[in-house]
Amino acid sequence: MSSGFNRSGRGKSKFVLGALVLGCIPLLVSTFAANVTVGTGSLEFGQGSQQATACDSTVYVAMGEEWHASPTAQDSSNGFFRVRAVTVSNLDLTTCAGKKLRVRLIDGNSAEITSGPTPESKVLQITLPDQAPTSNISDPVMLGLSYLTGIGTPISTPLLANVSLSVVGTAVYDGTTLSAANADATFYLDPTAATVNIDGQTVRRTTVETVNNPRA
Amino acid sequence: MFQNPRTKTIAFAIGGLIALTLSASFADELIPQDSVVEAPTAPYEETLTPIVAPEDTSTVLAVVETVTVAETIGNSPIATPRATPQASAQMEEELSESETPTVEILITPQPRLTLHMPPAIGIDPRSRSYLMGSIEFWGTSTYLACFTGSGVALDVGTYGAIDDFESENFIVQGDRSQNLMISGTGAAIKALLRTPGGIRIFNSSAGLSGRTFTLALTALTSASVDQSYCGASRAISTSFFSPLKIDLGIVKGSGTLK
């Protein structure tokens, strides 16, 4: 027997069902969103990579990290992996002789990351030897290590960084044997880890530039 | 409320869906997303340290030019666990009680171990290998470190050479494979990982981008590479190779117009 009460009850049931379905949607969305999160956030992919157009068409970059403890009252094991060094590998020191080599790090917001003691220190630069060396060089003065602003203006500030130009040993990038045509230039941002401590997770892009003008 | 069986079924189904979703949300909250992995706190139970035979360093000194990195570390003091006097006394006491002593190698329950690895490792998008130096851990004296590569293999020590090694206190097994196990003291394992050769993760046929590898640490009383101990680990961390954007270019000096 059909009655107005039954119809009313069916309508009420549909309303409850509809409310339940609508209530589920945010929960489902949040669950799926949480599942696709990797690490500390979304990761970018390498659409921006391109071959070099400078003195060497096949240089590579390798970033070395190390643990930097930063304990808090709540968490004695707190810390992060700081960028210890940036290595430009497979450098041909014959074709790049006398040129300046610049490295900078860029974060996920396309902002240059400070790599020196002052906020405007955005670029690390060395001058490659006029003649390809036969042994490793780790003298920052000999290699003219310096800080530059983002637009390439030299900064006069004490050096916290160090550098090595290696032609003997094993390449950081791929473990091949080093030579003058396959050299490693490694920039150590702050070997003491006292001042320049960049969280490796913030670096999303690196740039390697060579400068032709010896006066630059 | 639901007199119609069909409506009732739908209501049950939706109720189940809500319960599933809520449990997934709670699970998501409970599972740590961060790279820092700390095993749940468990009371550390003092276990017997086996009596260690005195190390023999003369062999290493005699053939220093031919030993591998693993051998050098394996024969060094850092690879040798120290037996405390109390533990040794206890051990001797137990030995006298029984003719066939059995020493539990796996510490049960596992002590609190801290393991740090970056969740994402920025690499050149063309990289086929990466020298991994960013591993930090502490919490006990002797470990089994189980590395598992997903689409990558692991090479420890001299690159390109199989550095498998076994001594009483330090073992490397599975070098240049997807399943590498290193067992010994924490200092010995760290020393091996931080030698110039270190641990290199590689794929000989394709790039590393998007690949992962996992490290599981298990606390042991003495060095062992019994793979079943890997499963007992409560400190596990995974790193993902994230391709950096790379810009390479040439900069020319400014010129003065006349």
For residue A75, pLDDT over 70 is answered with yes
Q: Tell me how close the Cα of A56 comes to any Cα of chain B, in angstroms.
A: 10
Identify the pLDDT of residue A55.
Answer: 81
Closest residue to A62, CB basis, from B119, B124, B196: B124
pLDDT, tens digit (0-9, with 9 covering 90-100), for A137-154: 999 999 999 999 999 999
Weakest mean pLDDT among A158-167, B16-25, B209-218: B16-25
Tell me the pLDDT tens digit for each residue of B26-50: 444 444 344 444 444 343 333 333 3
Interface residue B206 vs chain A (CB under 8 A):
no
Q: How far is Cα B220 from Cα A68, in angstroms, rounded to an integer?
A: 27
Distances (CA, A) of B57 to B15, B64, B73, B75, B172: 69, 10, 11, 6, 19
Which pLDDT belongs to residue A144? 96
pLDDT of amino acid A185: 97
pLDDT at res. A106:
95
Question: Residue B88: which pLDDT band, with cuts at 50, 70 and 90?
Answer: low
Q: Do B116 and A40 touch (CB under 8 A)?
A: no
Exposed, middle or buried, B3 (CB in 10 Å: 0-12/13-18/19+)?
exposed
**Residue A85, pLDDT above cutoff 60:** yes
Interface residue B123 vs chain A (CB under 8 A) = yes
Proportion of chain A above pLDDT 90, given as a percent: 66
Compute the distance between CA of residue A125 and CA of residue A169 in angstroms, rounded to an integer.
23
Q: Name which of A21, A102, A174 is nearest B129 (Cβ-Cβ).
A: A174
Q: What's the pLDDT at B196? A: 81
A186-212 mean pLDDT: 94
pLDDT confidence of residue B169: 86
As a whole number, mean pLDDT of residues A44-73 equals 69
Q: Which pLDDT tens digit goes with each residue over B141-168?
A: 999 999 999 999 999 988 889 999 998 8
Of B123, B129, B194, B195, nearest in space to B160 by CA: B129
Interface test with B, best of A40, A53, A95, A127 (most B CBs within 10 A): A40
Least Cα separation, residue B185 to chain A (angstroms): 19
Residue A92 confidence (pLDDT) above 90: yes
CA distance A181 to chain B (A): 18
Contact A93, A196 (CB under 8 A): no
User: What is the chain B residue with the closest CA to A52?
Assistant: B248
pLDDT class for A58, splitting at 50, 70, 90? confident
**From CA B143, how far away is CA B225, in angstroms rounded?**
10
Least confident of B16-30, B39-53, B103-117, B126-140: B39-53
What tokens does B250 get? 């040439």
More confident residue, A91 or B246: A91
Interface pTM (ipTM) of the complex?
Answer: 0.71
**Greater model confidence, A28 or B176:** B176
pLDDT for A57 equals 75
Q: Is the pLDDT of residue A189 over 90?
A: yes
Residues in chain A within 8 Å Cβ distance of B17? 24
| Comparison of pLDDT for B23 and A198, the residue scoring more | A198
Position B64 confidence tier, pLDDT thresholds 50, 70, 90: very low
Q: Over 50: is that where the pLDDT of A26 sits?
A: no
Q: Please say whether the beta carbons of B117 and B134 come within 8 A.
A: yes
Model confidence pLDDT, tens digit, residues A116-137: 999 999 999 999 999 999 999 9
Is residue B76 predicted with pLDDT exceeding 50?
yes
User: What local confidence, expressed as pLDDT, does residue A210 receive?
Assistant: 86
Spatial separation of the C-alpha atoms in residues A189 and A132, rounded to whole Å: 24
Q: Which of A16, A37, A212 sits opposite B250 (nearest CB)?
A: A212
Interface residue B244 vs chain A (CB under 8 A) = yes
- The three-class DSSP label of residue B249 is strand
Chain B residues near residue A45 by CB distance under 8 angstroms: 209, 243
- Model confidence, pTM: 0.69
Mean pLDDT within B86-113: 70
Contact A49 B22 (CB under 8 A): no
| Local confidence band at B13 (pLDDT 50, 70, 90 cut-offs) | low
Mean pLDDT of B117-127: 94
Chain B CB contacts of A50 under 8 Å are 246-248
CA distance B205 to chain A (A): 13
pLDDT at position B198, please? 87
Residue B227 has pLDDT above 80, yes or no: yes
Q: Where are the domains of chain B?
A: 58-243
Q: How far apart are the CA of A3 and the nearest CA of chain B, in angstroms? A: 14
**Polymer length of chain B:** 258
Residue A108 pLDDT greater than 90, yes or no = yes
pLDDT higher at B175 or A21: B175
Closest in B14, B15, B196 to A170, CB measured: B196
B176: phi > 0 → left, psi -120 to 50 → alpha, else beta; which? Answer: left
A13-17, A202-206, B35-39 — which one is most confidently predicted on average? Answer: A202-206
CB distance B119–A35 less than 8 Å? no
Average pLDDT over residues B50-78: 49
Minimal Cα distance from B19: which residue of A?
Answer: A24
Q: Average pLDDT over chain B, rounded to whole?
A: 76
pLDDT band at B101 (very low <50, low <70, confident <90, very high): low
Render A184-213 in DSSP notation, one character per residue: EEEEES-TT-SS---BGGGEEEEEEEEE--
Which residue in the set A31, A65, A102 is minimally distant from B25, CB to CB?
A31
Query: Which residue on chain B is closest to A199 by alpha carbon?
Result: B118
Say if the Cβ atoms of A61 and B124 lie within 8 Å: yes
Of B14, B246, B250, the CB nearest to A210: B250
Q: How big is chain B by its Cα radius of gyration, in Å?
A: 25
